[in-house]
Structures are given as structure tokens and as C-alpha cells.
Amino acid sequence: MRHLIRTDDFTKEEIEALLADAKEFSDGRFERILQDKIIITLFFENSTRTKSSFEIAAKRLGAEIVHLDVAKSSTKKGETLVDTAMNLDAMGPHAIIVRHQNAGVPKILSNHTKAAILNAGDGAHAHPSQALLDLYTLKDHFGDVSGKKIAIVGDIKNSRVANSNIELLTRFGMEVVLVAPPHFLPKTDLRTTHYLHDIIDEVDAIMSLRTQTERHSSQSYASLKDYASDFCITEELVGDRDIILLHPGPVHRNIDISDAMLEDKRCKVLQQVSNGVNIRMAILKKLIV
Ligand code: CP
């Protein structure tokens, strides 16, 4: 059984095929190829986009989807994560889609299930379906992304989205520059800067990230307002440059991206969400058909 824990679980050729499938699905060309399949969603952290779009993707392809409400599950009686997964697996689902606040949980569960485990985000480690939909969005705009330059901006150290995108986008030939205050930068061989103005004239795309306050042991930037004054993506910053803007959501308005920039046609945030359904259809097709 194949699982999707990290973007590097798939080869470049497999990802090209997955993006081609997603393109077909976006054109409305799909059938109920999962109509005999059952998929469980197991979310220990909140989600709007990932959970809903996996559910819509599964339904479009004809699968049955069962959501385990973690707050009302027997994990609250002390059942371990592995026992929870093994008991769900014993009911015969074809896939279990897992989000957990701790890095490594989907990988551990994948050692105990016959069902495919799909990582819907684990701590600050990985969010592979998000990076795949981001790559799809970039390729949809640019065609070939090789040689294009993207700035990833914000709380990179705590971001599973940044981790997965750095692996995937560099593999597809993009140059990634990390832009953040010092305490939001991970140890890296990539080019880094603390100043958006250093890179704004060079980049083809900006990926803004949410400040992950839930993963901070203490407030490590003076305040979100101070952060915004240096790192918010505004119309004034972008000007008339030919740059597209991405963000995985949820967006902190006027901290990550200004209201006006969210309305700008160069902002692809809602397009990313739409693309997410087609990418997740392609992932389900690849792993469980
Ligand atoms: N991008 C993303 O993971 O959004 P959700 O937390 O709403 O799923």
C-alpha cells in the first residue's frame, strides 16, 4: 500500500502525472472511479480547506466518506493514536486522511494500517497535498516553473507548508528565497533575507504564510502589528510588478496580506482552494483506485 506522508514520497514523473490528472478533473472530465471505496477523515487539528476539499474530492469520485469527530471519540477515554488507527483500519477503509499537531504521527500510523495514510498536515513537518496544489497553481500560471523565483514569507520555521513547498518547488527547478524575521527562519542552505524590499524586484511569485501562534511557546515577535509593518504583502509593496501571490490559508487579513491585495487579480488564494479539490481527487485516484 502506498501512503502520502511527504512530497518526496512521489517521484517527479508521478507528480507530473498527478498534475495532468488534476487538470483533467478541473475540466470536468472524471467518473465515479472510487464508488466502492470508503475513506475516513481523522483530524486532531482544525481545518477548513484541507478537510472539506478532501471530502468533496472523494464525493466527486464516488467514494463514501466517514468523519471521526475526535472530540467525541474514544481517544478522549485514553485510547492511543495507534490503537485508534488500528481499530479504524479493522473496519476496512481504503484510506485514512490524518491531521495531527505532532510531526511524525501519519508516518507512525502508516506502519499499522492496511489503508493508505494521507498526511493532511503533521505539526511543522509536512503538508504534501498543500504543496502539490501550490505547484499546480504555479504551473497553471507560468507553464514551466523551472528558473522562476519565489519568496516564501513569514513564519517559515513553524510551517509544514513551507517545508513541503521547499522540497517540491526546488525539485521542479524553482529558486526559493526565504524572507522572515530571524526567529522565524529555519537553519537552511537557501538564500534568506529579513527584508521584503531586498527581493521584491527579483521574484516571480510570493507565498505568504500565516504566523503560527499556536506553535509558539511565547510570542516571539513584538506583536502581530509590528510583524505586519515589515512582512504584510500590500499593494504599496507589490506596485505594478508582474508577481503572483499565494497563501495556503487561513489568511490573517492585514497581517499576512492587506485587504486590497487580497482583492487584486494577481492574488491566487481562492484559485489555490479550487485547485486543491482537483489535486486531492488526483491523489485519491493515485493511492486507492
Ligand atoms: N491550507 C490549509 O491547510 O488550510 P486548513 O487548515 O483550513 O485546512
Q: Specify the residue with its C-alpha closest to ligand 1, atom 3.
A: 50
Nearest CA to ligand 1 atom 5: 47
Q: Is the CB of 159 under 6 A from ligand 1?
A: no
Ligand 1 centroid to Cα of residue 248, in Å, is 7
- Local structure of 40: helix, strand or coil: strand
One digit per residue, the tens of pLDDT, for the chain of length 289 reads 899 999 999 999 999 999 999 999 999 999 999 999 999 999 999 999 999 999 999 999 999 999 999 999 999 999 999 999 999 999 999 999 999 999 999 999 999 999 999 999 999 999 999 999 999 999 999 999 999 999 999 999 999 999 999 999 999 999 999 999 999 999 999 999 999 999 999 999 999 999 877 766 655 555 788 899 999 999 999 999 999 999 999 999 999 999 999 999 999 999 999 999 999 999 999 999 9
3-state SS record for 141-181: HHCCCCCCEEEEECCCCCCHHHHHHHHHHHHCCCEEEEECC
CB of residue 49 inside a 6 A radius of ligand 1? yes
Instruction: Supply the pLDDT for residue 1.
Output: 84
Per the annotation, where are the binding residues for carbamoyl phosphate? 49-50, 99, 127, 130, 249-250
Site to substitute for ligand 1 among 67, 130, 134, most atoms within 8 A of C-beta: 130
Where do the domains of the chain lie, and which CATH numbers do they carry?
7-127+273-288 (3.40.50.1370), 128-270 (3.40.50.1370)
Asked casually if ipTM beats, i.e. exceeds, 0.85, the reply is: yes
Q: How far is CA 2 from CA 34, 45, 95, 107, in A?
A: 16, 24, 10, 12
pTM for the whole thing?
0.97
